[in-house]
């Protein structure tokens, strides 16, 4: 299959993960689809009239060469699911992204020791100190950390990697040209020069609330285990931990004070079987 055709279709607004799966199942080479009218698109791929009309208009008014040139101009590479550079760990999850867009070094996502790190956007000083204690020895041994570039724990984990001269990967809930939060634009640039920034959304897609649960499955899927540093009882971090378990990954949690709301989620995870982590060796011992 021509990678460019899949990348082109992936830019069509409104095509869901399942829509693309149905299209690839019925037309694996993505050849017939470009010859179809709206009725044929509906019948062949199970699309609603609205979705089929949108796709038909997109295919007849957009140009794949233009899209590929925009990616090249912005130093963004697009790696479809079938490409040899696609991260091997993501191939094993239930709903891997059909296309990943990245800026940086793709080999970052093929390392042996990749740890996903998530946590609250409003960490305590104790939470940051605990994360530093656990992560720093691993980073000195060139472990790769995957996180989501959010405020708080994510930002701190990425910065620890940069300070230790080791690679890190940031997974966005928006397009790479629409970094959220905007205050992390410079951090994203630094990460792309010492690791990689990735997203399953085309470069100019703005962040939306429903994008972040989708992003979280990529964060957990890229790592062999997920470390929850500090999290409230109801949080995106716990959703990521659940996704990690569904993907067959281990979940580690750093305990916190029972007096702190921002530790309630991590303590809950430990109560329910996550491995309690107090030092780097607690994680490293599991990987030998």
Mean pLDDT of 248-265: 92
Look at residue 107 in the predicted model and tell me its pLDDT: 96
Decide if 197 contacts 74 (C-beta within 8 A).
Answer: no
Q: What pLDDT is recorded for position 180?
A: 96
Q: What is the pLDDT of residue 233?
A: 87
Q: What is the mean pLDDT of residues 32-41?
A: 96
Is 140 in contact with 164 (CB distance < 8 Å)? Answer: yes
What is the C-alpha to C-alpha distance for residues 46 and 59, in angstroms, rounded to an integer?
17
Dist CA 100 CA 218 (whole Å): 10
The pLDDT of residue 95 is 94
Pairing mode, if any, of strands 77-80 and 99-104? antiparallel
34 contact partners, CB below 8 Å, separation of at least 6? 5, 59
Please determine, for residue 129, whether its predicted confidence score (pLDDT) is greater than 70: yes
CA distance 40 to 129: 59
Which residues make beta-bridge pairs with 101? 78, 199
Quick: pLDDT tens for 54-102. Answer: 999 999 988 899 999 999 999 999 999 999 999 999 999 999 999 999 9
Q: What confidence tens digit (pLDDT) does each residue in 145-181 have?
A: 999 999 999 999 999 999 999 999 999 999 999 999 9
Q: Is the pTM of this model over 0.85?
A: yes
- What pLDDT band is residue 235 in, cutting at 50, 70 and 90? confident
Domains of the chain: 3-73 (1.10.150), 104-287 (3.40.50.450)
Residue 288 pLDDT greater than 80, yes or no: no
């Amino acid at each position: 299959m021509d990678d460019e055709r899949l990348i082109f279709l992936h830019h069509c607004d409104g095509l869901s993960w399942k829509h693309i799966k149905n299209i690839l199942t019925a037309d694996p080479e993505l050849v017939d689809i470009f010859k179809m009218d709206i009725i044929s698109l509906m019948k062949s791929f199970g699309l609603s009239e609205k979705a089929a009309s949108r796709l038909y208009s997109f295919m007849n008014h957009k140009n794949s060469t233009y899209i590929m040139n925009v990616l090249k101009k912005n130093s963004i590479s697009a790696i479809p699911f079938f490409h040899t550079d696609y991260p091997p760990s993501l191939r094993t999850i239930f709903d891997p992204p059909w296309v990943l867009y990245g800026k940086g070094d793709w080999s970052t996502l093929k390392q042996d020791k990749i740890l996903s790190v998530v946590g609250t956007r409003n960490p305590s000083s104790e939470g940051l100190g605990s994360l530093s204690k656990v992560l720093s020895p691993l980073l000195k041994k060139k472990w790769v950390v995957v996180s989501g570039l959010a405020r708080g724990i994510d930002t701190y984990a990425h910065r620890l990697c940069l300070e230790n001269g080791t690679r890190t990967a940031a997974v966005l809930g928006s397009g790479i040209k629409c970094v959220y939060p905007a205050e992390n634009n410079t951090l994203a640039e630094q990460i792309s020069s010492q690791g990689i920034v990735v997203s399953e959304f085309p470069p100019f897609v703005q962040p939306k609330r429903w994008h972040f649960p989708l992003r979280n499955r990529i964060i957990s899927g890229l790592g062999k285990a997920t470390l929850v540093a500090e999290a409230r009882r109801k949080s995106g971090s716990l959703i990521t931990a659940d996704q990690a378990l569904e993907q067959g990954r281990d979940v580690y949690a750093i305990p916190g004070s029972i007096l702190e709301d921002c530790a309630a989620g991590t303590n809950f995870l430990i109560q329910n079987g996550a491995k309690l982590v107090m030092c780097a060796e607690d994680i490293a011992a599991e990987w030998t």
